[in-house]
């Protein structure tokens, strides 16, 4: 997600909102206010998600190798309160428990990721394949299928094997393409008879920018102005190679689909009457979603990225652009490597033009864009600092995907909202509101003609939130991390999401309002349960430590 420094700017924006309901999406006159009652197309898939490092725990069990996140979190000062994902939700030991939560919600699909070093400890397939790791994912997949829940499997949710980082520099190095392809091929071979939805990369933007440019994420490198572009270049090539591997070697037999999951905030011009703001907002989205989506759908980077980064590189006196280039063979190889597009979306920014002349300190990904990000302080902001609830931005982003990339099949792979750790409130009214409004905007987008096939609430459980540690909770289910058994408790949003799923949308106002009331009623009893469990574990902790005395035999 966005680095904190980038979102601190906060301006009050007074905007006149034009309200109209149009069949064809109208970019200037969008309906931002009224709620739309209606249902989703038959067969629409409802799900929830997780990722390996964020939930599994068992970081060093059963032959798993180290990932860059294991190493990063074990260094002091990288994560809030120096927390780690060592045990996290202990998901590795709780397949059955967690699937019963999914059944409670009546989910159609569950999105999870495979930890590369759990099944190939060094990341290099010829070194060793860890059968115990394979066994874990076999069990998870089998139990999901027995429960009629479709697995949607991400191959890379950020946990690169540490050996590949140390030996080659991770995604800075082109050799990752082949190593990743070997890993993916192994997954198709071992799980592809049962898994029909594959996602190569989750949110490569974050890997590139936060892993290699700002260093807020593992591997923590600060290669300003070059690292992110190079990492992205190699991930795009790796994605394309894996898509081709699936397409040529497995598709005919396994009959699955393979896509990529991209994240994108929406960028809205501050002043829709100002051409410079309109162009800046377009640039914001092109440097974010377009950076990856344009190669995958059209074969090359967005023209605006090539222009801006190329010009600034020239001004710095560099002979070539800091943005790498694809050869013409590469362009045609990469173009069209996406059976469905995964979209992870959480928030929106207002954007205005701002020049960043190339100074002595050079350029970065952020200054290359020549824009400033603003937020409206009236937007609800219940949890993560960067996450403002702006539902109408979701509809706009989905329509952008439709028009820019030829109306591809979309699965929303992440959408949700967090709360701060200190809040142990299970009655999460604000999350209910967020889901209700965002899902409604997705419904409007489908009415606009956007081809959205499924929705994944992020996330099933509270979990390790990267550099924020456990301080931000995205879960539908609360996890008591202080208890070593990591018990799960339903938040009110579980009840609410469950109703949306069972009605496949929003049937009518009376019913939908009733859902909220009911959800809030039931969560107060869960609150009491949690409070009682807390009291009990506190009493336990306060008891003097006495051990039974055994007579030595
Ligand atoms: C996107 C990441 O893919 C996910 O792992 C994270 O939990 C969410 N953003 C929320 O920050």
Model confidence over 43-52: pLDDT tens digits?
999 999 999 9
181 Cα–ligand 1 center, Å: 24
Mutate which of 67, 261, 344 for ligand 1? The one with the most ligand atoms within 8 Å of its CB, which is 344
What token pair was written down for 10?
Answer: 């906060």
- What's the average model confidence in pLDDT over 322-326? 98
265 Cα–ligand 1 center, Å: 12
Res 418 pLDDT > 60: yes
342 Cα–ligand 1 center, Å: 13
Q: Which residue has the tokens 């952008």?
A: 400
Q: Which atom of ligand 1 is nearest to the CA of 416?
A: 10
Res 34 pLDDT > 70: yes
The C-alpha angle with vertex 90 and arms to 84 and 95, in degrees rounded to 5, equals 145
What pLDDT does residue 543 have?
A: 46
What pLDDT does residue 421 have?
A: 56
Q: Which atom of ligand 1 is nearest to the CA of 203?
A: 3
What pLDDT does residue 14 have?
A: 29
DSSP string, 113-160: E--HHHHSTTS-TTT---HHHHHHHHHHHHHHHHTT-EEEEEEESS--
**Which of 56, 268, 414, 465 is flagged as catalytic?**
414
Q: 131 an active-site residue?
A: no
How do beta strands 266-269 and 341-344 pair? unpaired
Whether residue 1 has its Cβ less than 6 Å from ligand 1 = yes
What pLDDT does residue 287 have?
A: 98
Ordered by where they begin, the domains of the chain are 38-542 (3.20.20.80)
Whether residue 213 has its Cβ less than 6 Å from ligand 1 = no
Mutate which of 51, 111, 413, 458 for ligand 1? The one with the most ligand atoms within 8 Å of its CB, which is 458
551 Cα–ligand 1 center, Å: 54
For 32-47, what is the HEC assignment?
CCCCCCEECCCCCEEE
Residues 6+ apart with CB under 8 A from 497: 105, 435, 457, 476
Considering only CA atoms, which residue is closest to atom 6 of ligand 1?
465
387 Cα–ligand 1 center, Å: 11
Distance CA 389, CA 326 (A): 37
pLDDT tens-digit profile of 107-128?
Answer: 999 999 999 999 999 999 999 9
Answer whether 454's CB lies under 8 Å from 409's CB.
no
Res 171 pLDDT > 60: yes
Res 77 pLDDT > 80: yes
Confidence band, pLDDT 50/70/90 cuts, at residue 74: very high
Whether residue 413 has its Cβ less than 6 Å from ligand 1 = no
Answer whether 388's CB lies under 8 Å from 379's CB.
yes
Phi and psi at residue 19, in whole multiples of 5°? -110, 125
């Amino acid at each position: 997600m966005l680095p904190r420094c980038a979102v601190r700017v906060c301006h009050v924006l007074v905007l006149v909102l034009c309200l109209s309901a149009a069949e064809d999406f109208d970019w200037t006159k969008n309906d931002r206010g009224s709620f739309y009652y209606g249902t989703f197309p038959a067969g629409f898939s409802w799900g929830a998600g997780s990722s390996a490092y964020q939930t599994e725990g068992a970081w060093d069990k059963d032959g798993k190798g180290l990932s860059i996140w294991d190493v990063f979190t074990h260094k002091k000062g990288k994560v809030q309160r120096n927390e780690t994902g060592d045990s996290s939700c202990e998901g590795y030991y709780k397949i059955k428990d967690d699937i019963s939560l999914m059944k409670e919600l009546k989910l159609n699909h569950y999105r999870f990721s495979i930890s590369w070093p759990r099944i190939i400890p060094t990341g290099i397939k010829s070194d060793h394949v860890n059968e115990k790791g394979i066994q874990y994912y076999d069990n998870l997949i089998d139990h999901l299928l027995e429960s009629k829940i479709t697995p949607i499997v991400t191959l890379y949710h950020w946990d690169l094997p540490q050996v590949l980082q140390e030996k080659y520099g991770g995604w800075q190095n082109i050799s990752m393409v082949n190593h990743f392809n070997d890993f993916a091929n192994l997954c198709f071979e071992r799980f592809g008879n049962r898994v029909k939805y594959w996602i190569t990369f989750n949110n490569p933007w974050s890997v590139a920018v936060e892993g290699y440019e700002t260093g807020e994420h593992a591997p923590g490198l600060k290669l300003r102005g070059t690292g992110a572009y190079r990492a992205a270049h190699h991930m795009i090539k790796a994605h394309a190679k894996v898509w081709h591997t699936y397409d040529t070697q497995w598709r005919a037999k396994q009959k699955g689909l393979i896509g990529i999951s991209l994240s994108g905030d929406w960028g809205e011009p501050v002043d829709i009457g100002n051409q410079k703001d309109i162009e800046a907002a377009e640039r914001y989205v092109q440097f974010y979603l377009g950076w990856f989506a344009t190669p995958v759908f059209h074969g090359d980077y967005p023209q605006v990225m090539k222009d801006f980064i190329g010009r600034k590189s020239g001004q710095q006196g560099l002979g070539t652009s800091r943005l790498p280039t694809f050869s013409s063979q590469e362009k045609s190889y990469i173009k069209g490597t996406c059976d469905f597009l995964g979209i992870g979306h959480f928030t929106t920014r207002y954007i205005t033009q701002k020049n960043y002349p190339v100074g002595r300190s050079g350029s970065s990904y952020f200054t290359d864009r020549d824009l400033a990000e603003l937020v409206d302080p009236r937007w609800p902001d219940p949890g993560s600092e960067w996450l403002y609830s702006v539902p109408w931005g979701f509809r706009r982003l989905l329509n952008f995907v439709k028009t820019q990339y030829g109306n591809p099949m979309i699965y929303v792979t992440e959408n949700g909202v967090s709360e701060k750790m200190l809040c142990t409130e299970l009655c999460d009214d604000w999350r209910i509101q967020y889901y209700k409004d965002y899902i409604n905007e997705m419904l409007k987008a489908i009415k606009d003609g956007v081809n959205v096939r499924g929705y994944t609430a992020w996330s099933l459980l509270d979990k390790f939130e990267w550099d924020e540690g456990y301080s931000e909770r995205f879960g539908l289910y609360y996890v008591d991390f202080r208890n070593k058994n990591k018990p799960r408790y339903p938040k009110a949003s579980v009840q609410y999401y469950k109703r949306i799923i069972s009605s496949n949308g929003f049937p009518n106002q009376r019913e939908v309002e009733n859902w909220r009331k009911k959800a809030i009623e039931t969560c107060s009893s869960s609150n009491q349960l949690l409070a009682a469990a807390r009291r009990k574990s506190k009493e336990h902790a306060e008891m003097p430590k006495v051990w039974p005395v055994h007579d030595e035999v």
